[in-house]
A and B are shown apart, each in its own frame.
Chain A
Amino acid sequence: MDESRPIFVQLAEQIENDIIAGVMAEETQVPSINEFAAFYRINPATALKGVTTLVDEGALYKKRGIGMFVAEGAQARLKTKRRDKFSAEFVTPLLTEAAKLGITAEQLADMIRKAGK
């Protein structure tokens, strides 16, 4: 957990990452609020807020009296959401830094091709 952003946002992203990576499979139970709080050493109210964000987005759902589960199709939906944000989060800063160093768009494309090999 870093200091730059609200902890509940970071917890939600962490759980999203685990769903995208398949660590938390669809239709399996996720840890309880108190387990998240203890593991990440955060206030349970904060953990609840993070998990609630994902319930509201439909990535997790509640089974009454049992706990929280990963929703069906959550992995694909989260991947789509992350792709939409990819340009703003990764490409724009890359271009800004490249411009600062005088790297042209073509040189940059070349670098990406080489790095991908």
Chain B
Amino acid sequence: MTAVIEDKVIEVTGLTKRFGSVTAVDDATFSVERNKIYGLLGRNGAGKTTLMQLLTGQDFATSGSIQVFGQSPVENASVLQRVSFIKESQRYPDDFRAKHVFKSAPWFFSNWDEDFAQQLIADFRLPLNRRIKKMSRGQVSAIGVIVGLASRAPLTFFDEPYLGLDAVARQTFYDRLLADYAEHPRTVVLSTHLIDEVSNLLEHVLVIDEGRIIINEDAESLRGSATNLVGTAAAVDAFVGPREVLHRDAIGGLVSVTVLGLTAGERKDASAAGLELAPVSLQQLIIRRTNTSEKEFEVSA
């Protein structure tokens, strides 16, 4: 037997979490590969945070199995010491100042890089001596972002880490994440609804909608997988034929449809038929696909 390199950092099978009558995570099955940046995308209340709480052992599954580094994460120190989870609304003790957070973080993360943390503190202009209670929402978020980056945990979760961060600070976060990831590859799961901002950073995309994983695909194959076609109703319908239409809009005699997977030849045909072709961004595509599944739900319910 040769040594097996553990390529799957997370393996989830049939995972379900119910809160009373609400099913927050619904029969989710997926895996997360080592040293990739994942986007966990979805609308508010789709189940992103619940899923991450389950993956980090902070909540118990109703059914199904979770393996993180090959083991259950629940109450498992050998797993959890390799995991950093930056929450959207992290609470700190009342009298804590930012410096107290950075003093205690290295106790939990063996890969903690103090120089990197100091550099990030300067980048985000974080006042170390201010009480966290007195800080702005964006400054509190910056603390989380810095801890998440400087901890360099083999598996890092960022759950909407930038509430209140301005555009400049968010760009700083993306740039530092990318640069540090390139030098110190690790697995990152980034949950967000600012899809357009992060889409180029992602290698793989998981989309969750009403607790279900509805997209689990390579970011590059998702990108450009859909096209918008605009033209007269007759021309559009003639071209579309039996193709699956993700979305349809009409204004006057004009119709706009979103379709998947056009070949180069088909694009040429569409253009020759007088249709205007426009790209569909990852964000638009996900909006289209999550709407579709809602309709499917209504039909099946």
Contact = CB atoms under 8 A, between A and B. Distances in A.
Interface residues of B, number: 28
Contacts of B183: 34
A3 B223 contact: yes
Interface string B84-122: 000000000000000000000000000000000000000
Interface string A34-56: 10011011111110010000000
B271 A100 contact: no
B279 to A, nearest CB: 3
B9 interface: no
A12 to B, nearest CB: 12
B13 interface: no
Given A1-B200, A3-B279, A43-B37, A37 B223 contact: no
Nearest to B196: A3
Given A43-B37, A45-B203, A96-B271, A7 B181 contact: no
Interface in B188-241: 199-203, 219-221, 223-224
A61 interface: no
A5 interface: yes
Contacts of B174: 41
Nearest to A47: B182
A43 B279 CA distance: 21
A45 to B, nearest CB: 5
Contacts of A42: 200-201
B200 A5 contact: no
Given A34-B182, A41-B201, A45-B36, A2 B220 contact: no
B281 interface: yes
Given A38-B175, A45-B36, A6 B224 contact: yes
Of the listed residues A3, A92, A100, the one surrounded by the most CB atoms of chain B closer than 10 A to its CB is A3
Interface in B147-199: 174-175, 178-179, 181-183, 199
Contact of A44 (B181, B278, B279, B280): B181
A43 B224 contact: no
Given A41-B201, A100-B274, A4 B279 contact: yes
B272 interface: yes
A31 interface: no
Contacts, number: 63
Contacts of B37: 43
Interface residues of A, number: 24
Contact of B182 (A8, A37, A49): A37
Given A5-B223, A34-B182, A37-B182, A43 B202 contact: yes
Nearest to A45: B203
B131 interface: no
Contacts of A45: 36, 203
A67 interface: no
A37 B220 contact: no
Interface of A: 1-8, 33-34, 37-38, 40-46, 49, 92-93, 96, 100
25 contacts: A1-B200, A3-B223, A3-B281, A4-B278, A5-B223, A6-B221, A7-B200, A8-B220, A34-B183, A37-B182, A38-B179, A40-B200, A41-B174, A41-B178, A43-B37, A43-B219, A44-B181, A44-B182, A45-B36, A45-B203, A46-B200, A46-B220, A92-B268, A96-B271, A96-B272
Interface of B: 36-37, 174-175, 178-179, 181-183, 199-203, 219-221, 223-224, 268, 271-272, 274, 278-282
